[in-house]
Amino acid sequence: MRHAGAVDFEPYRGELVAYCYRMLGSFHEAEDLVQETMLRAWKARDRYDPTRASARTWLYRIATHVCLTALEGRARRPLPSGLGAPSDDPGAPLTPALDIPWLQPFPDARFDVEVRADMRLALVAAMQVLPPRQRAVLVLREVLEFTAAEVAEQLGTSVAAVNSALQRARAALAGADGVRNRDVVEPDDPATRAVIQRYVRAFEAADVPALVRLLTDEAVLEMPPVPLWYRGSGDYGRFMDRVFRMRGTGWAVTPLTANGQPALAAYAPESDGAHRLHTLQVFTVTGGRVAHNVVFADPRVFEAFDLPRRISSEEFRRER
């Protein structure tokens, strides 16, 4: 009988990382769990029967159990907006809450486009509220399009139980803020690119009025690991004014994508003309305006995106 020793697992690594990321909300943990999945698959290769399941289905079964085990007793990974009401004080202290396991963004550039489907931050954040098995059913059925029978086999349960879990997961997500916004467009949409380009120019110039004109009235700004967040273009603008007063003008920006959304790496100016990495910002653009900006300042996030920590004055001039 042909066994998994003759199967190349590597072509599935990228999509498995995306799956484990959706389950855990952490890119670094997802990479670790996929490595564990591959190791378990290799050790069990003599027990794999290709007449019962494809290698892909078999790997997802292993990955699902690895993720569910990792999630036992774990707190969910939130964004600040999932923990309480917005702040009304743009001058509030920016004190990180390092005891909270914050949701991380997903570095698109390291994976194929197909892997990044249905990965918006709002959806991943909302999924973290679901019980782990419901989360697995939702991703396996709705994103990866396994059949109910395949998911039942992967979870060691019945088709009826899978269908029930899927129904409950859909109901739980139906009312989640921003999750099912049909106006959200892809980052390569020309109108979206134009909005982000205008935002970049205004940001680099520290032009707060120009930034505010690009926002929706109810725009949200949040900054994990700082638990504060703001709603409304007014408070957004007042907070940005504070940032530029503290850090100065003449910023440098590198456009990116994360979670299938437009993003940028922001570099703050230094006295010698160089720029130091300050934040990674992930945008939601709806109706030609910025509706949401999640600003990450965690060095581990910077590592995942392979971002240089400092741009010299010579590098900055070349990029201009």
Q: How confident is the model at residue 2 (pLDDT cuts 50, 70, 90)?
A: very low
Q: How confident is the model at residue 112 (pLDDT cuts 50, 70, 90)?
A: confident
Output the pLDDT for position 184: 59
* Exposure of 155 in the CB half-sphere (CA atoms within 13 A): 27
Output the pLDDT for position 1: 36
Count of other CB atoms within 10 angstroms of residue 234: 15
CA distance 74 to 103: 13
Residue range 262-296, pLDDT digits in tens = 999 999 999 988 999 999 999 999 999 999 999 99
Q: How confident is the model at residue 317 (pLDDT cuts 50, 70, 90)?
A: low
CA distance 72 to 276: 38
Taking phi first (over 0 means left), then psi (-120 to 50 degrees means alpha), and beta for anything else, what does residue 41 get?
alpha
For a pLDDT cut of 90, what percent of the chain falls above it?
78
The answer to whether residues 169 and 130 touch, using CB atoms and an 8 Å cutoff, is: yes
Output the pLDDT for position 220: 97
For 190-319, CATH number out of 3.40.50.620, 3.10.450.50, 1.10.3720.10, 3.40.50.300 equals 3.10.450.50
The domain ranges of the chain are 1-74, 190-319
Output the pLDDT for position 242: 95
Q: With 60 as the cut, is the pLDDT of residue 180 above it?
A: no
Output the pLDDT for position 195: 96
* Mean pLDDT computed over every residue of the chain: 90
- Of the two residues 114 and 184, the one the predictor is more confident about is 114
Burial of 32 (0-12, 13-18, 19+ CB in 10 A): middle
Identify the CATH class of 1-74. Answer: mainly alpha
Q: With 80 as the cut, is the pLDDT of residue 319 above it?
A: no
The answer to whether residues 267 and 278 touch, using CB atoms and an 8 Å cutoff, is: yes
Residue range 240-260, pLDDT digits in tens = 999 999 998 899 999 999 999
Residue range 190-233, pLDDT digits in tens = 899 999 999 999 999 999 999 999 999 999 999 999 999 999 99
Q: With 90 as the cut, is the pLDDT of residue 59 above it?
A: yes
Q: Give this prediction's pTM.
A: 0.91
Output the pLDDT for position 179: 56
Alpha helices, H only, 73-215: 121-127, 132-138, 148-155, 159-174, 190-204, 208-213
Q: How confident is the model at residue 8 (pLDDT cuts 50, 70, 90)?
A: confident
Query: What are 246's two structure tokens?
Result: 């503290």
- Of the two residues 319 and 104, the one the predictor is more confident about is 104
- What number of helices (H) and strands (E) belong to the chain? 12, 7
Lowest mean pLDDT among 32-46, 114-128, 254-268, 270-284: 114-128
